[in-house]
Chain A
Amino acid sequence: AQSVTQPDIHITVSEGASLELRCNYSYGATPYLFWYVQSPGQGLQLLLKYFSGDTLVQGIKGFEAEFKRSQSSFNLRKPSVHWSDAAEYFCAVGERYSSASKIIFGSGTRLSIRP
């Protein structure tokens, strides 16, 4: 069964510093991969997604993620964080070529920004 692991529950970075949030998945083939962001009191918003092609995916708000098949990872990066990036970030995986239609969410990483 597919699963998603986000090993970092909470990360604090200084404003202007670079960011990397880790995501590892367990799946037998190439999955669909997603990163969502949830601001306080809001629903989840898609940052970016990987289906196929270029393994470096660009998303909204200056985020990018790289799919590494050999490491079963899909880490999220941003070169310089802003205070408005403080939020909860969720990695998710969906099954390719499967009749199942749900996607599996990780437990989330809460990002705090130090002024």
Chain B
Amino acid sequence: DAGVIQSPRHEVTEMGQEVTLRCKPISGHDYLFWYRQTMMRGLELLIYFNNNVPIDDSGMPEDRFSAKMPNASFSTLKIQPSEPRDSAVYFCASSRRLAGGQDEQFFGPGTRLTVL
């Protein structure tokens, strides 16, 4: 398996522009997670999906952020409009559920976003 795939790996954009980050989870995994990592705030869970349905979006910072999962093999995280404080590394992770709880999460390589 190729693992979790994220694109682009790097994104540089100007304030006010729309940014779309993409993720392909591992085949057979029914959970998908979006995280943001910064020096100041560490690793933050933004939202996660189960069987393509958003379960918990309490970590989404504001309405400028939205996430979708139209099918089991693709998810997007969109920021519109982007702001300099959105600059961070965004990770996608996927996992499966075991009988007694959640299995490990497999992380993608991340997208480094810079908003000028």
**Residues in A lying within 8 Å of B, measured CB to CB:** 32, 34, 36, 42-46, 49, 51-52, 90, 94-98, 101-103, 105, 107-108
Contact = CB atoms under 8 A, between A and B. Distances in A.
Contact of A94 (B42, B93, B102, B110): B102
Describe B's contact surface by its main secondary structure.
strand
A101 B109 contact: no
19 contacts: A32-B101, A32-B102, A42-B109, A43-B4, A46-B106, A51-B101, A52-B100, A90-B43, A94-B101, A94-B102, A95-B101, A95-B102, A101-B31, A101-B95, A102-B33, A102-B56, A103-B102, A103-B105, A105-B42
A101 B107 contact: no
A101 B50 contact: yes
Interface string B5-16: 000000000000
Contacts of A98: 101
Interface in B67-116: 91, 93, 95, 97-98, 100-102, 104-110
